[in-house]
Amino acid sequence: MTEAAGDLSWDDEVAATTAFWQRLGLPGLLDVHTHFLPPPVQAKVWAQFDAAGPKLGREWPIRYRGSVEERVAQLRELGVRRFSTLPYAHRPGIAGYLNDWAAQFKREVPESLWSATLYPEPEVAAYVAAGIEAGVEIWKVHVQVGEFHLDDPLLDPVWAVLAEAGTPVVVHAGHAPVGNDYTGPASSARVLERHPGLAMVVAHMGAPDFTESLDLAARYERVRLDTTMVFTDFDLGDGTPPTYADALLERLDRQRDRILLGTDFPTIPYPYVHQLESLERLGLGDDWLRAVCWDNAAALVGAEPGTPGQERPAQEQPGGRRG
């Protein structure tokens, strides 16, 4: 982490983040993994983090605790051009409330990715179909918190309609930060075997099962991985930069078109720029960073609201290669 990163002033955070994407010749950043929740729900979630609850297993200070409006303004000032809300249902009966709130957020913050969540419950197929028809741009499920298997029979028709629509779904199914009976890559693999066209985004790169997650991306054309909190100093928890095997770095380079920037803003214990620095120090080069921080997400969800598939109109081709 940069020296005294935790003590960076806001002006320094903005300057460092802006310098990162400007140096790469990007118009900003596309972050597919940020969170905005209804304030009463957000307060309860943050209380779990403050208490180092059982699904966290460690102290987890939260850096960005402003109001919804303040946090939107922060992302805009950092140069994050598109970002998600990613609500996640932790029990039956709450998805509708979360999705209604997220829809209103989209109306008020038009550059945001219209996000929604789902849960294995009798009405799930109906509200997912309605959400797709209405224009939801990205979905989120969190099996560690919600404690369900991805291949729950109630979800099978949901995966089918999402695969047909091509709408991405961010799936937190990894064992990190604390595993349980529902986490791990196995249920993701079973779902993808039945629905190979599903546009699954593996949250946190499936940590700690990076190899298995990259295998899924190699096997299924629409699978992607997001970088959320991965490769940061917090990954190890002792304040030292983590190290990774050359074989993993080679695969990250080779599969660069499958990696998307994600950060978990605002629920992170370090400045936003540290995620970017952590990607840069992997040493995979500027073209790789351009692909991860802009091109890949632009191709998936669009660089501007309402334009899925739009890529950065510049000399870079998808995957960061120069044309």
For 94-112, what is each residue's pLDDT tens digit? 999 999 999 999 999 999 9
Query: H or E stretch including 162?
Result: helix 156-165
Residue 208: pLDDT band by 50, 70, 90 thresholds?
Answer: confident
- Quick check: 240 pLDDT over 60? no
Residue 237: pLDDT band by 50, 70, 90 thresholds?
Answer: very low
Question: Could you tell me what percentage of the chain is helix, strand and coil, using 3-state DSSP and rounding each to the nearest 5?
Answer: 45, 10, 45
Percent residues over pLDDT 70 in the chain: 86
Residue that wins the pLDDT comparison between 317 and 300:
300
Measured between its terminal Cα atoms, the distance across the chain in Å is: 34
What does the pLDDT read at residue 235? Answer: 60
What does the pLDDT read at residue 316? Answer: 36
- Quick check: 312 pLDDT over 70? no
Per-residue pLDDT, averaged over 156-165, amounts to: 98
* CATH class of residue range 5-301: alpha beta
Q: Which amino acid is at 98?
A: L
Domain ranges of the chain: 5-301
Per-residue pLDDT, averaged over 272-296, amounts to: 97
Report the DSSP pairing between strands 200-202 and 29-31. unpaired
What does the pLDDT read at residue 185? Answer: 87
- Contact at 8 Å (CB) between 177 and 57? yes
- Quick check: 178 pLDDT over 70? no
Mean pLDDT of the chain: 88
Vertex 253, ends 279 and 250: CA angle to 5°?
105
Per-residue pLDDT, averaged over 167-195, amounts to: 86
